[in-house]
A and B are shown apart, each in its own frame.
Chain A
Amino acid sequence: MLGKGGKRKFDEHEDGLEGKVVSPTDGPSKVSYTLQRQTIFNISLMKLYNHRPLTEPSLQKTVLINNMLRRIQEELKQEGSLRPVFVTASQPADPLSDNFREAQPAFSHLASQPLLPTDFVSTTPLESCLTPASLLEDDTFCTSPTVQHDGPTKPPPPALQPVKDSFSSALDEIEELCPAPTSAEAVAAETAADDSKDHPSESNVQKPEGLPESRTAESKLMESLPGNFEITTSTGFLTDLTLDDILFADIDTSMYDFDPCTSATGAASKMAPVSADELLKTLAPYSSQPVTPNQPFKMDLTELDHIMEVLVGS
């Protein structure tokens, strides 16, 4: 009559998305781990931002979700590059008092905040670029539940690599253009160097062979983008979490809709040399002043907007 409670054993058939950490010993497991992490990241953000109750949200829940996001962010940082993280703007003293009113307008609120980029010359540019990506958010959150259930059968992240890498390398170029002139070779060399640096010591992610490029790309995106915005989340806890993370997290899954530019392997190296010249040619029509590859230039709102459109909207 009375049952002895049996401890549930790990079921091989279980989707890697659920429960235990998938220890990625091979490509597909690593994909599912990254996918799982991405899904959880998106879900967590959705919980923080889309929640609009009439009463105050549970502090415990908010803290736990924040901790989750922080942990994932830490993991991404550790896995990724060794670039220094930009200095962040300081938060208002007690963001709890700003709870709700700022939660939803987080993005627009940030749009009015100046950036504090270290390598970037201009101070305002990216907010407007953020807007298009934030619109993608709706698409993302529709797809994430299906991502969760389909597991690793979703289009593989390697499809993302070429675009991300080209964008990040484009930004690298922009950065480099500002302090010092750079060349296509330098960019290519850097991208290649980043790839080779990719040996994370993170215990959950054991071998880099599955998706070295995407990890590199993710981390590059996080750190190479100008400015780490302070997000006034519903708790304002996330000092280090940048809007970039959210956006590029969104872009990750939204990119499933785009045709992969190249195949998984060798994609990064092929796409890397979007030379500064090419980039500037794109920008030239929108810039009021003549730009040369070796000349530092200031990007304004529209120019970066257009970069985004070129890379994302094409």
Chain B
Amino acid sequence: FLGAGGGNDIQWCFSQVKGAVDDDVAEADIISTVEFNHSGELLATGDKGGRVVIFQQEQENKTQSHSRGEYNVYSTFQSHEPEFDYLKSLEIEEKINKIRWLPQKNAAQFLLSTNDKTIKLWKISERDKRPEGYNLKEEDGRYRDPTTVTTLRVPVFRPMDLMVEASPRRIFANAHTYHINSISINSDYETYLSADDLRINLWHLEITDRSFNIVDIKPANMEELTEVITAAEFHPNSCNTFVYSSSKGTIRLCDMRASALCDRHSKLFEEPEDPSNRSFFSEIISSISDVKFSHSGRYMMTRDYLSVKIWDLNMENRPVETYQVHEYLRSKLCSLYENDCIFDKFECCWNGSDRQERLFSTEPFLSSFPPLCSIVMTGSYNNFFRMFDRNTKRDITLEASRENNKPRTVLKPRKVCASGKRKKDEISVDSLDFNKKILHTAWHPKENIIAVATTNNLYIFQDKMN
């Protein structure tokens, strides 16, 4: 790992944990998405109850240089409500599947949040002043008796306690028959895509009554359906390019300039199956649960059930790197199929990218200039999460648990014992708790701060600062 002091490993320390302490998890509190905004100052989470909670980082206190600012609750609002589809007699879940921030253009912050069917654009704005001195109203809002008004005055703004308001500015509805799994904002910051199991639609952020279908893989005869779309993302720099992944382990790169309906891919990324690993579950474990471009756009990362793969956009026939997340599960696939864990959708993320700034800052952070996007992170079971360093090829397993919650104590690496004699401090595969899964993780865009979501808690870890 690269980090402070040049060449030393990043030492992750517990910083904070948010959420209820009980073991009894309320279903609505299950965290379903985590996302930093572009500056890293704000951290948003969505949950199964349709709520969005935004945390804000405290401004760094320069005298207390041993820790970065803490994240505290900034705003909480109900983004989506449960709905009922009368035609199918089915509920539409309010669970927030994805949140994506827009880059900040003015004082307010904007984010897109989506459930299975509807995407909403929320404006989060601060109010720290309010008008006082109305002529016709008392301060508490009651109307004054007009006969008592003898003079006129101009209301003035006076400071008030900070209030953060979230208001829905756009609602993008009725464009998806199937369940939305991804949203991605284009680099033009004017359009975005939303992907469901069979279709991808393109929207303009200002226009809610119209969206354009750019990918449609629904077969004429639904009985012939064997593959669905699992994730989609716009290229970070090229506003006409996007990728989408499938349940068969393929990624297709499409160019919107080629045609209106991008059913024909420009590139198809697929790794041939390893015959020695073939099993009944080969297809299921090859299903891609997440796809993320690197910051430069040169690479993309995919997550399937057992591994993380890094692809070079210039090479379609195989990934350039493959990292095994929990290979010890390969012999347990039948059980994991039976208990549905094999369908868990793990996400993955790159480390932050703006390290160039630090070369010119006064803080002695880095003596060397590291390559961008050198570390990838993803979750596993038993509240473990994993990081892989692409340069050193080393990896680490850490645990998100309240037992390690002393700030500035470096997290102890964990190890799973696959077979044979279990060493001290190792955990055997059979002791893993498959109900404790880390599906969502996020990395601060600029600093070594990570947010890791367990079932209903959000952990924040920081690099130990010297």
Which residues of chain B have C-beta atoms less than 8 A from A237's C-beta?
222-225
Q: Which residue of B lies closest to A96 (CB)?
A: B222
Q: Which residues of B contact A14 (CB under 8 A)?
A: 331
Q: Do B283 and A64 touch across chains, with their CB atoms under 8 A apart?
A: yes
A54: B residues at CB distance < 8 A: 90-91
Q: How many residues of chain B are within 8 Å of chain A by beta carbon?
A: 51
Task: Give the bracket for the number of chain A residues in contact with chain B.
Answer: 35 or more
**Known A5-B324, A40-B280, A43-B337: A99·B88 in contact at CB below 8 Å:** yes
Interface stretch (choices A18-26, A77-85, A207-215, A253-261): A18-26
Could you tell me the distance between the alpha carbons of A17 and B228 in the complex, rounded to whole angstroms?
28
- Say yes or no: B284 contacts A64, CB within 8 Å: yes
The CA of A58 and the CA of B415, in the complex, are separated in Å by 33
Report yes or no: A2 in contact with B395, Cβ–Cβ below 8 A. yes
Query: In the complex the two chains form, what is the Cα distance from A8 to B416 in whole Å?
Result: 11
A68 touches B338 (CB 8 A): no
B333: Cβ under 8 A from any A Cβ: yes
**Chain A residue with minimal CB distance to B197?**
A59
**Complex: chain B residue closest to A145, CB-CB:** B338
Q: Which residues in B have their C-beta under 8 angstroms from that of A18?
A: 331-335
Question: Is B418 close to A, CB under 8 A?
Answer: yes
Given contacts A8-B330, A56-B90, A100-B90, contact A3 B284 (CB under 8 A): no
Bound CA span A96–B333, Å: 28
How distant is the Cα of A18 from the Cα of B283 in the complex, in angstroms?
15
Q: Tell me whether B179 and A1 are in contact (CB under 8 A).
A: no
A101 within 8 A of B: yes
Asked if B279 CB lies within 8 Å of chain A CBs, one says yes
**Contact: B395 with A4, CB < 8 Å?**
yes
A37 at the interface (CB under 8 A from B): yes
* A100 and B88 contact, Cβ closer than 8 Å, known pairs A59-B228, A94-B222, A148-B338: yes
B239 interface residue (CB < 8 Å to A): no
CB-based contact B9/A2 at 8 Å:
yes
Query: Which of B1, B198, B343, B395 contacts A64, CB < 8 Å?
Result: B343
Query: In the complex, which of the residues A2, A56, A59 contacts B396, with contact meaning CB atoms closer than 8 Å?
Result: A2
Q: A2-B396, A64-B283 are in contact. Are A236 and B331 (CB under 8 A)?
A: no
Bound-complex Cα distance A209 to B226 (A)? 34
A66 CA / B280 CA spacing, docked (Å):
12
User: With contacts A3-B397, A55-B93, A59-B178 known, is A39 near B334, CB below 8 A?
Assistant: yes
**Closest approach, in angstroms, between the C-beta of A37 and any C-beta of chain B?**
7
Is B278 close to A, CB under 8 A? yes
Q: Find residues 1-52 in chain A having any chain B CB closer than 8 Å to their own CB.
A: 1-8, 11, 14, 17-21, 36-37, 39-40, 43, 47
With an 8 A cutoff between CB atoms, is B394 at the interface? yes
Residues of A91-111 contacting chain B, CB below 8 A: 91, 93-97, 99-101
In chain B, positions 55-103 with a C-beta closer than 8 Å to chain A are 88-93
Interface membership of A128, Cβ < 8 A: no
Q: Is A63 an interface residue (CB 8 A)?
A: yes
- Establish whether residues A60 and B330, one from each chain, have CB atoms under 8 Å apart when the complex forms: no
CB <8 Å contact, B222 and A67: no
**A214 vs B335: C-alpha distance when bound (angstroms):** 26
A61: Cβ under 8 A from any B Cβ: yes
**A47 and B338 alpha carbons, distance in the complex (Å):** 8
Asked if A235 CB lies within 8 Å of chain B CBs, one says yes
Q: Knowing A58-B343, A60-B228, A94-B222 touch, does A148 contact B334 (C-beta < 8 A)?
A: yes
A239 interface residue, CB < 8 Å from B?
A: yes
Q: How far is the CB of B278 from chain A (nearest CB, A)?
A: 6
Give 10 nearest A-B pairs by CB, closest first: A19-B331, A59-B197, A2-B394, A8-B327, A55-B91, A60-B228, A18-B334, A54-B91, A8-B418, A237-B223
CB<8 Å pairs between A and B, sample of 10 = A1-B413, A5-B323, A8-B331, A8-B419, A40-B337, A55-B93, A60-B197, A64-B343, A100-B88, A235-B222
